[in-house]
Amino acid sequence: MHLKPKVIWIDAIGCNGCSHSFFNLPYLSTLLEKLDILYHPLLESDEFKIQESDILVIEGALKDIKKFDSNLLTIIEKLFVNTKRVIALGSCASFGGMFGEGLIFNKEKLGKFYPCKNKVINLPGCPIHPEWLGYIFDMLIENKPILLDEENRPKEIYSFVSHSGCIRNEYFDWKVDSDDFGSKEGCLFYNQGCQGPFTHSSCNKILWNEVSSKPRAGTPCFGCTERNFPKENLFKTDTMMGIPSKIPLGVTKRAYLTLAGIAKSLKNERLEKRLFEYEKTNNKNRG
Amino acid sequence: MKKLITKIEGEATLQIQGDEVVEWVDIEFHQFRGIEKYLENKHYMDALVINPRVCGICGHSHLIATAKAIENAFEAELSDKAKYIRELTLNFEIIENHIKWFYITLFPTQIKDKKYLFKALQFSQKISQAIALIAGQYPHNSYAIPGGITSDITYLDLTKVKNILLELQKFENEIWDDFDLFFKNLPKETGKSNNRFLTKDLDISKVKEIQNNPYQNVTYDGLYYETGPLARMKKNIEFVYQEYEDSIYSRIYARVYEIFYLINKNIEIISLVDLSEKSYIKPKIISNKGYSIIEAPRGILIHEIEILNEKIKRYNIIVPTQFNLSNGTKENPSAAQKAMINERKEYLDTIFKCFDICAVCVGH
């Protein structure tokens, strides 16, 4: 690869959320110095034209629509054959998401570009985590091999589950569920629909905006990095006879239920009550 | 003449009549995703995850509008705490939007220098972080739900948020200096429009969507109005408005002014929040219609929902760019069209972009 890889970043059908998420990368300015951005939908660049590149970033899903006085699919095909590596950015480009089709995979079927899958790195997430993309760019700049899993996702990011590092893990371990929304206590896996234990991502390992994550803010993980995102009933846990129908990755249902039963029966008293409660303040005096 | 406009959260095409001076402009948007249809038959709570994905820059406004539309249908009760905290994060999104729009979208139409991009990002990353401290992440969180918020924030979190605000206050002089620099070679009277404004205290029955494939024009009582920061801040910047009316100068002044107006507002809100109140009050679920009207970064955002047996029967979204950038007629032009007519072509890009266009929102 060149000293400064040439990058074309094209927006397909989506919301530009991955671009805006990428703008939150703390070391963005030093990273951009190492890239030659030929086109980006928001950043200052020359006018779009079909040309060769080292890295092609496709943000958004594929659909047969008008784009730059041409057609989106035609443009992407031309860019695809004229580049060395393709980053399918976000869940839309990776799996189709809500609005169209993915590059090499769709929710169920394979994508149009599956025959060229060796060229593609899938970076699902809705939106993408800025540090995940920052890491991939850096690996490509340095020409280092990136380990990919069977869905072409970098193993260093997607071997973890969203649950890894969640501050509600104690509640998960001792089977203390959150009664309702708006509480710092309790696990969201049992009633609120949290998909953390079976979603491939490192959202609680590499925090969002360097400070938090959805489950930390009491919102369930919606499994936005998975092929079937978005599932229906995102705030409800799918159950079968009162038991979550999807269980943590890697264990049998029997093993999981045995351990869950023991944990629940042994009770962790500290976690059964609220950690602390505020007294009503005369907020006029605060500030 | 045809002009493709990019770097506006999507693209638009201007069909321009006239040689040196613009006689008429038709505005065309291309993208269409069909999110309203996508929502049908889904559980009403799913809209809280789907709708932020309408837009990567103002998705939080779509979240708040969704929660409020459902609350309107359920006649839900909210704690003051939940109301205050939501106001905080919505204001943060407006601030972040304005700063990015000013330096990344608008600035390059006059001054091309990468340092302004990094200035914007240095500022906007802090704002994203403040939202994340409250809502888990930015963009695309779903922490506002019918009945309140999912997070149970602490004074520890609020202290961090407050200190981010105090840091950002320090940028004020620098940004106003850049504002002056932007107008160095640009006539301040450029881009005067209809001089008609609309804010969220409107009568929703007068809002009408008119099909204009693939998107819809929006009129109010049969006419096109301007919505957004100038409409909201007109009274606060009366001295500027009196002199320049609704020109690009006033429009951009209002947006920059609103950044620091809202930073100060958020500092005040933090002093008012009482964290002993409930974050969430479970609403009673009923089959009903509801709507919400909020002020998003670019102006009025309307969401309408019809819920039947917990499922979405119908959903409708009207975004600010539809108001400002409708494709009207010569007799009844939209705010952006009127602003471009009789102006020199060299100013077209700046005039068009000063409305802060969101093409992805239009293509919902």
How does pLDDT run across B100-149, given as a tens digit for each residue? 999 999 999 999 999 999 999 999 999 999 999 999 999 999 999 999 99
**Residues 188-247 of chain A whose Cβ lies under 8 A from any Cβ of chain B:** 203, 208-219, 222, 224, 230, 232-236
User: Which of A19, A209, A218 is the closest to B137 by Cβ?
Assistant: A209
pLDDT of A242:
82
Query: Residue A1 pLDDT more than 60?
Result: no
**Residues 79-98 of chain A whose Cβ lies under 8 A from any Cβ of chain B:** 98
pLDDT of A123:
98
Q: CA–CA separation, B354 vs A270, rounded Å?
A: 56
Residues of A in Cβ contact (< 8 Å) with B54: 15
Question: B113 CB contacts (<8 Å, ≥6 apart)?
Answer: none
The CATH number assigned to the domain with range A6-155 reads 3.40.50.700
pLDDT of B241:
97
Interchain proximity B136–A66, CB inside 8 Å: no
The sign of the dihedral angle between the CA atoms of A203, A209, A215, A221 is negative
Interchain proximity A42–B105, CB inside 8 Å: yes
pLDDT of B232:
98
Query: Residue A2 pLDDT more than 70?
Result: no
Calculate how close chain A gets to B242, using CA atoms only, in Å: 34
User: A14-37 pLDDT, tens per residue?
Assistant: 999 999 999 999 999 999 999 999
pLDDT of A193:
97
Residue B92 carries which DSSP code? H
User: Which of B49, B132, B136 is the closest to A230 by Cβ?
Assistant: B49
Please report, for residues A46, A136, B137, the alpha-carbon distance to residue A81 in angstroms, rounded to integers and kept in the order given.
21, 20, 36
Interchain proximity A212–B137, CB inside 8 Å: yes
Interchain proximity A182–B132, CB inside 8 Å: no
User: B283-317 pLDDT, tens per residue?
Assistant: 999 999 999 999 999 999 999 999 999 999 999 99
Q: What percent of chain B has pLDDT over 90?
A: 94
Calculate how close chain A gets to B35, using CA atoms only, in Å: 8
Q: Using an 8 Å Cβ cutoff, are B294 and B87 in contact?
A: no
Least confident of A197-201, A264-268, B50-54: A264-268
Q: With an 8 Å Cβ cutoff, is A65 touching chain B? A: yes
Query: Residue A284 pLDDT more than 70?
Result: no
Q: CA–CA separation, A22 vs A130, rounded Å?
A: 4
pLDDT of A282:
63
Residues of B in Cβ contact (< 8 Å) with A24: 124-125, 128-129, 138
A160-272 to CATH, choices 3.30.465.10, 3.40.50.2300, 3.90.320.10, 4.10.480.10: 4.10.480.10
pLDDT of A283:
57
Q: Which residue of A has its CA nearest to B311?
A: A233
Query: Residue A286 pLDDT more than 50?
Result: no
Angle subtended at Cα A240 by Cα A235 and Cα A242, rounded to the nearest 5 degrees: 80
The model scores a pTM over 0.90: yes
User: Token pair for residue A248?
Assistant: 């943590």
User: Which of B11, B128, B150 is the closest to A181 by Cβ?
Assistant: B150
Specify the CATH architecture of the domain B2-345+355-362.
Orthogonal Bundle (1.10)
Calculate how close chain A gets to B89, using CA atoms only, in Å: 13
pLDDT of A287:
41
Q: With an 8 Å Cβ cutoff, is B101 touching chain A? A: no
User: B71-101 pLDDT, tens per residue?
Assistant: 999 999 999 999 999 999 999 999 999 999 9
Asked whether this chain's domains A6-155 and A160-272 adopt the same fold, the reply is no
Residue type, B49: V
Compute the CA torsion angle B256, B259, B265, B269 (nearest 10 deg). 170
pLDDT of A69:
84
Q: With an 8 Å Cβ cutoff, is B191 touching chain A? A: no
Q: CA–CA separation, B331 vs B325, rounded Å?
A: 16
User: Token pair for residue B211?
Assistant: 């099909």
Q: What would the mean pLDDT of A148-167 be, rounded to a whole number?
A: 97
Query: Residue B215 pLDDT more than 90?
Result: no
Q: With an 8 Å Cβ cutoff, is A30 touching chain B? A: no
User: Which of B45, B148, B154 is the closest to A235 by Cβ?
Assistant: B45
The mean predicted confidence, pLDDT, of chain A is: 95
User: Token pair for residue A147?
Assistant: 């380990």
Residue A14 carries which DSSP code? S
Task: Please report the ipTM that was assigned to this predicted complex.
Answer: 0.97
Residues of A in Cβ contact (< 8 Å) with B104: 42-44
